[in-house]
Amino acid sequence: MPLLDIKNLTLEIDTAGGRVKALDKVNLTIDESEIRALVGESGSGKSLIVKSIVGAINDSWTLTADRLNWKGSDLLAMSKEQRRKITKDDIAVIFQNPVSSLDPTASLGEQLEENIPDHLVGKGWFWQRQEKRKQIVSRQLHKVGIKNHELCLSSFPHQISDDVCQKFMIAMALVSEPKLLIADEPTMGMETTIKSQILKLLSRLNQNRNLSILFVSHDLLAISSMCHSMTVLYCGQTVESGRMTNLRKRPLHPYTKALLDSAPSFSKDLLPKSNLSALDGTIPTLQHLPIGCRLGPRCPRAQKECVKIPAPRHIHNHYYSCHFPLHRPLK
């Protein structure tokens, strides 16, 4: 049984131009101790999926799904209390721009201690509890590879560098010992060496602690270096998903192919300064979504049928939604 199982998640939101389906029949599963990548361009709805999972969506929006299950129990059928308990105890989220998600007026130590759930501290006199808190805090920082923890804890958010800050955010997220960590663009804008440190840290946590990770990003290099499987999103529709290796070796959806081609490091025999293969046009806005397959106007393989939404099909565990996938020759 997958840890998280989402089937046909649709989210309708209000925009200036009326109501639109920002997410349209999205499918996503995360297995126990799996690192799953959620890939898509800006505005494709990645963060909306994250918000739907943790239940942080606007009351006026309409969310429907055939399944939104956490360990087999339906999150949508639960009471608000039960759901909040699960998202608080079992799911942790870290965001891009680590500095801005911390309180600038409190030291890092104070913020971390506040995050420790009471049951981990246990009972006792307040000085004993205080002592226990301190222990937990330094253990956490040690785990994420922050060495000089005294200094780190007494610092304020603006005084530490980006990478320490992101490690600290990971430490905060892990205090409550979650089953699933959702990382929304955790390495955006970081330089290569620091990025690979953060990615190694996440991989290690995954291996040592059986932590499942949903890694949200459009950085293909980062994704393919550590993720086991990948779900590709375009304009609020899931276009392809499967094992990382299969998708990289043989993408079936034209969009996935374009995405992989956009990272020149992956193509071994690309001549310097030769043209990269690119899709025409730009990502449509929510107000001007094409009907049917939303890639339609930009897709080199598009035909008449594409005005109907393609149903998901699969070869073993490799799912794709396209009328004219790449493994079938065009007539």
Ligand X SMILES: Nc1ncnc2c1ncn2[C@@H]1O[C@H](COP(=O)(O)OP(=O)(O)OP(=O)(O)O)[C@@H](O)[C@H]1O
Place of tokens 């409550």: 176
Judged by CB under 6 A, which of 67, 129, 243, 301 binds ligand SF4? 301
The residue assigned the tokens 């199982």 is: 5
Amino acid at 97: N
259 binds, among ligand SF4, ligand X, other proteins, none (CB under 5 to 8 A by kind): other proteins
CB of 44 to Mg ion, least distance (A): 9
Judged by CB under 6 A, the chain residues 270 through 299 that form the site for ligand SF4 are 293, 295-296, 299
Chain residues in the site for other proteins (CB under 8 A): 41-42, 162, 189, 191-193, 195-196, 199, 218, 220-222, 224-227, 244-245, 248, 255, 258-259, 261-266, 270, 272-273, 275-280, 282-283, 285, 298
- Whole-angstrom CA distances from 136 to 89, 112, 182, 211, 299 are 17, 10, 22, 19, 52
- Minimum CB distance to other proteins, residue 298 (Å): 8
Contact letters (x/-) for ligand SF4, 253-272, by CB under 6 A?
xx------------------
Give 251: exposed, middle or buried? Use CB within 10 Å, 0-12, 13-18, 19+: buried
User: For strand 35-39 and strand 18-30, is the pairing parallel, antiparallel, or unpaired?
Assistant: unpaired
Q: List CB contacts of 130: < 8 A, sequence separation 6 or more.
A: none
Of 5-13, 45-53, 154-162, 299-307, the segment contacting Mg ion by CB under 5 A is 45-53
Is 47 among the residues that bind Mg ion (CB under 5 A)?
yes
* Cross-strand bridge partners of residue 181: 92, 213
Residues 250/34/3/259 CA torsion (nearest 10 deg) = -40
Residues within the interface to ligand SF4 (CB under 6 A): 253-254, 293, 295-296, 299, 301-302, 306, 310, 322-324
